[in-house]
Amino acid sequence: MEKVCQVTIVHKEKVNVIKKKLDQKDFSNLLVLGKCFSDSSRIKIFYALETYKEMCVCDLAELLDASIATTSHHLRFLKKHGMAKSRQDGKVVYYSLANEDILSAIHVFLKLSENLSMKS
């Protein structure tokens, strides 16, 4: 059973400090980041790029069991939002994570996911 307050006491100072800080924040980038991680195909792409550093669109499509068009859509979304980058080698396009910060974030999310599933 979840514990809840037995009485209603609002700590106005704390609430006002946080409200003031929230008024100064822009969470739009955080919301986009959430969208990047809210799709299982994108999570699989992250996992693949974390594992092999760089993969071509065809390999990622095969991994996702999806069309190249669908996979390209996911990759364009990740690239548009600064999560991935691409390079072309002849007729083949390779994708990788945009930078080390993204790689570190993927590591943290994967570890967090493993820890959460162990507690379930």
pLDDT tens figures, 12-69: 999 999 999 999 998 888 888 888 889 999 999 999 999 999 999 999 999 999 999 9
pLDDT score for 37: 87
How many Cβ atoms from other residues are within 10 Å of residue 100's Cβ? 8
Q: Any idea what the Cα angle at residue 28 is, between residues 35 and 108, rounded to 5°?
A: 55
User: Rounded CA gap, 87 and 94, in Å?
Assistant: 5
Task: Tell me the average pLDDT of the chain.
Answer: 90
pLDDT at 53 (0 to 100): 92
pLDDT of 120 strictly over 60: no
Nearest to 77 by CA among 106, 26, 34: 34
pTM of the model: 0.79
Query: Does the CA dihedral 105-107-110-111 come out positive or negative?
Result: negative
